[in-house]
A and B are shown apart, each in its own frame.
Chain A
Amino acid sequence: MKMKNSTLAGWGIIALFLISGCSPKGSDEKSSPFSSDVASKVYVAPGQHDEFYAFLSGGFSGQMSVYGLPSGRLLKVIPVFSLDAEKGYGFNEETKPLLQTSYGFIPWDDAHHPELSQTEGIPDGRWIFINGNNTPRVARIDLSTFETVEIIELPNSGGNHSSPFTTENTEYVVAGTRFSVPVPQKDVAVESYKENFKGALSFISCDPVTGKMDVAFQVLLPAFNYDLAHSGKGASHGWTFFTCYNAEESNTLLEANASQFDKDFIAAVNWKKAEEYVKGGKAHDFPTSFYHNIYDDNAHMATSEQIKSVKVLIPAECPGLVYYLPTPKSPHGVDVDPTGEYIVGAGKLSADMSVHSFTKMLKAIEDKAFEKEIQGIPVLNYDAILAGVVKSGGLGPLHTEFDANGNAYTTFFISSEIVKWKVGTWEVIDRSPCYYSVGHLMIPGGDSRKPFGKYMLAMNKITKDRYLPTGPEMNQSAQLYDISGDKIQLLLDFPTVGEPHYGQGIPADLIKPKSKQFFNLAENTHPYVTKSEDQTKVVREGNVVRVYMTTIRSHFAPDNIEGFQVGDKVYFHVTNLEQDWDVPHGFGIMGATNAELLIMPGQTETLLWEPKSEGVFPFYCTDFCSALHQEMQGYARVSKKGSDLKLKWWTGSAK
């Protein structure tokens, strides 16, 4: 089998060469005798760009990685919730505030679901959001800089899993708690779960111009586990749907105890109604404490704010705010088709998927076709809202995405496959195996009103023998499929960073033209910026010493500094004077207990250095910047505490 594959690949390369060498530009690839060749479909020639960006969550790495599709080439790892020594993220003074929480500085999280901002239900390439699951948070990344610019913590939550799915115009990104917790937190017996625990759904508003997030309001629900979410679109715009399991409200051995009932629910939240209730004064102001951290691209610095109160709506006091849609077998994914009419609930312990109709849901509400009420929340009649059942023959459905031609694609974890089916007729059209145990899938724009289609990416949980072995731990495996034809065609395997749960894809053209190349030095408002070499200086304030330093190819100014003392807190405020694309400079100094700086052109970053002993210590540029990079270095002299040696600094010749 391997022989056969490599022979095929060999022929593929030859075929490719012939195609690129001879066929006139603009010829129809489909008509080529080599159109069935898989290698050519993922081959992006050296120097050429991929057609799509793919953003994959890093799972337990806490980061987000960016790949090009169809090549599967890793373009970047964006640090979000975890420290990244490579970029100084969370180590330099400027980004530390981003990782502040009500529990203090947290250097890690578990990041599951990237979600692109949308305008009119279509990904717009402005921002991408991602959830932190462990210490509930949502981050926003600016896609002009590919940098994390905001992280907001979520009060009254425990495990932010059903997040951060967006509404059509990014009015809100949502955050539902996976683990219900006492609200407000208090010291109670775990056995008092049903009495004391609640599940909060948070609606985080986003400023339409700046993207700035705020926890607009929360809806306090029964103590179920709120698992995943998607917002309505088109006709169903104004609603958000959350799956929940553990309607049994069990607090131990959920493996068995949360699977007792035949059906759990999808919670349908009418957020436009919620806005009315908040406006009408129905929300309670719950005292709490959470952090909101914002990075300013001109100051090149993040600041933290502590927020002490949150608006909470109680469904029993707000008729029409929330309805439960009964959905079989512990539903996991909830996915809304591009028209907004169909709400697909993937009962993960079943073979079939229940598809609810939004129109029928409204009718059932109007007719009061309720099975019962739970804590003031009407449970709609299952048969009254059901549009159809997809009888797949697979096992363990998890997530569904859509193409532009009315087809849906659902992953099946247990039977390790993706099943293609027709929206509306529920008929299964095709299926393709995944290697192995697929979780989420991603089609560019596949959860929006306008799927871009063409490719589908499976994010698999188990890797085993797919790559050269690397000890007991293997990187997770992604698989790329061509979905432009009738049949799903597997194109490529590639390893990924951390454990991608969900991903998002978008045509490169929606991001590429807006990508920043450097920061304008004139717009730098960092409080410790040095805008030219003649302004460099070293200033002592007690035991705090501030070095106003600059970099340009290929020297530091100053590069010789004397007069530091043991016990000083030395802040190197380094400004990169370069005004050209892709010319960062690094800064590392011997004995620093944090990391390096990696300073983008026009940016200022700060490293704290606390010299512990007397001596002369070198510093140098860590990012190969020019032919004279190896010459880019300097010395810092440290004297004993209380030394008479005055601060003195220079570059080239002593001042």
Chain B
Amino acid sequence: MKKHFKLNGIVILSLLFMLASCGGSESNNKQSEGGSQSESNATGNSNDPMKNKGIGPVQSITLGNLDQAMVDEGQKIYTAKCSACHKAEEKFIGPAPKGIMERRSPEWIMNMILNPEEMVKSDPIAKQLLIDYNLAPMANQHLTQDEARKILEYFRTLK
């Protein structure tokens, strides 16, 4: 997974200092190339949560007919990797996935599973959820994209 560099105060200060002390000479410090290529996903669409695709590897998901085999596998993975903090039908450490397909886009859900650190830092919905849920962080359980997709299929059954 690509790690995105986040500009912080120290870097900005040191960049400023370098510019000042070097008379604007070209710097090839890689830290100056900060920024996130996928941040654009999150911009401009945060008002309608169903249009927010989140930040992460998943760009577009098309949902077909429900695949029961995927649902079953997804439920198993969910039990093993997620159920310590998420109960299907009730709020626990984190929110319940029941009805989530009505609240979030499929891409957002998968990006939240696959890229939680960046989501809670930069995605407006995920940031608010972290605050609402008592600053309990969403753990990165290092699922594959395929595993996250199966969990998504399972979530389609939680209405």
Contacts and interface: CB of A to CB of B under 8 A. Distances in A.
A25 B135 contact: no
Given A518-B142, A627-B136, A628-B136, A531 B22 contact: no
Given A532-B83, A552-B85, A580 B18 contact: no
Contacts of B93: 555
A627 B81 contact: no
Contacts of A18: 21
Interface string B79-103: 1110111000000110000000000
Interface in B17-35: 17-18, 21-22, 25-26, 28-29
Contact of B142 (A25, A552, A557, A580): A580
Interface in B29-86: 29, 79-81, 83-85
Given A21-B17, A21-B18, A552 B84 contact: yes
Contact of B92 (A578, A583, A626, A652): A652
A579 B82 CA distance: 11
A577 B85 CA distance: 11
Interface string A501-534: 0000000000000000010011000000001111
A583 B139 contact: yes
Interface string A580-608: 10010000000000000000000000000
A654 interface: no
26 contacts: A21-B14, A21-B22, A24-B25, A25-B29, A518-B142, A521-B81, A531-B80, A532-B81, A532-B84, A534-B83, A552-B85, A553-B85, A553-B136, A553-B139, A555-B84, A555-B93, A578-B141, A579-B141, A579-B142, A579-B143, A580-B139, A580-B140, A580-B142, A626-B136, A627-B136, A628-B136
Nearest to B116: A580
Nearest to A553: B139
Contacts of B26: 24
Interface in A559-583: 577-580, 583
B139 A628 contact: no
B141 A580 contact: yes
Given A533-B83, A627-B135, 9 more contacts: A521-B81, A532-B84, A534-B83, A577-B81, A579-B81, A579-B139, A579-B143, A626-B136, A628-B136
A9 B79 CA distance: 57
A550 interface: yes
Nearest to B135: A627
A555 B21 CA distance: 51
A253 interface: no
A40 interface: no
Contact of B139 (A552, A627, A652): A552
B97 to A, nearest CB: 15
Contacts of B134: 628
Contacts of B81: 521, 532, 577, 579
A209 interface: no
Interface core residue of B92, B135, B137 (most chain A CB under 10 Å):
B137
A521 B25 contact: no
Of the listed residues A21, A521, A583, A628, the one surrounded by the most CB atoms of chain B closer than 10 A to its CB is: A21
Nearest to A24: B28
Name the interface size band of chain B. Answer: 20 to 34
A579 B139 CA distance: 8
A554 interface: yes
Contacts of A22: 18, 21-22, 25
Contacts of A553: 85, 136-137, 139
Contacts of B79: 532, 534
B81 to A, nearest CB: 7
B83 A627 contact: no
Interface string B125-137: 0000000001111
A22 B27 CA distance: 8
B133 to A, nearest CB: 10
Contacts of B29: 25
Interface in A20-64: 21-22, 24-25
A521 B17 CA distance: 47
User: Lowest 4 CB-CB distances: which A-B pairs, in order?
Assistant: A552-B84, A579-B141, A627-B135, A533-B84
A532 B139 CA distance: 15
A370 B108 CA distance: 82
Contacts of B137: 553, 626-627
Nearest to B26: A24
A495 B25 CA distance: 41
A580 B138 CA distance: 11
A578 B142 CA distance: 9
A550 B84 contact: yes
Contacts of A555: 84, 93
Nearest to B134: A628
Contact of B21 (A21, A25, A532): A21
A69 to B, nearest CB: 24
Contacts of A25: 28-29
Given A579-B81, A652-B92, A554 B136 contact: yes
A181 to B, nearest CB: 52
Contacts of B85: 552-553
A554 B134 CA distance: 11
Contacts of B28: 24-25
A577 to B, nearest CB: 5
A398 to B, nearest CB: 45
Nearest to A533: B84
A196 B28 CA distance: 72
A651 to B, nearest CB: 9
Most buried by A among B83, B142, B143: B142
A555 B93 CA distance: 9
A285 to B, nearest CB: 50
Nearest to B17: A21
A266 to B, nearest CB: 52
Contacts of B136: 553-554, 626-628
B5 to A, nearest CB: 11
B93 to A, nearest CB: 7
Interface centre among B80, B85, B93 (most CB of A within 10 A): B80
Contact of A578 (B17, B80, B139): B139
Contacts of B22: 21-22
A627 B139 CA distance: 12
Nearest to B142: A579
Interface string A532-564: 111000000000000000101111010000000
Nearest to B31: A47
Contacts of A583: 139
Nearest to B140: A580
Contacts of A580: 139-142
A628 B133 CA distance: 11
A109 B145 CA distance: 48
A652 B137 CA distance: 18
A25 B33 CA distance: 14
A579 B136 CA distance: 16
B100 to A, nearest CB: 20
A24 to B, nearest CB: 7
Nearest to A577: B84
Q: Identify the interface centre among B29, B83, B136, B139: most chain A CB within 10 Å of its CB.
A: B139
Nearest to A627: B135
A22 B93 CA distance: 50
